Amino acid sequence: MASQFVTGASPVTFVSENINGNVGKQYQIPLSLLGVTNGQPDPTAWLAAVGIGTGDVDYAVVTALVAGLAAQGVLSVVTGTS
């Protein structure tokens, strides 16, 4: 059965912009924790796992960052067999 996963050169790294919480905290998202939705890398499961909800400014930062990296070709979705 074929499965999709995200590949790239390194983990996705960002610094929190949430001034009401974790401002300045650096996060690294392992590529293996990025899901795939509609053929695109999706950080939703990772965001939920670390407790970053849709109302958190970091939610928008991460989703935009992952989408931007995918658009630039830094992250890509590949299909493999399991």
DSSP 3-state percent helix, strand, coil across the chain (nearest 5): 30, 35, 35
Instruction: Report pLDDT for 45.
Output: 92
Q: Report the SS3 class of residue 71.
A: helix
Radius of gyration of the chain (CA): 13
Q: What is the pLDDT of residues 20-66, one digit of tens each?
A: 777 788 889 999 999 999 999 999 999 999 999 999 889 999 999 99
Provide the residue range defining the domain that includes 75: 2-81
Instruction: Report pLDDT for 67.
Output: 95
Instruction: Report pLDDT for 75.
Output: 92
Residue 61 vs residue 19, higher pLDDT: 61
Evaluate whether 75 touches 41 at the Cβ level (below 8 Å): yes
Total domains in the chain come to 1
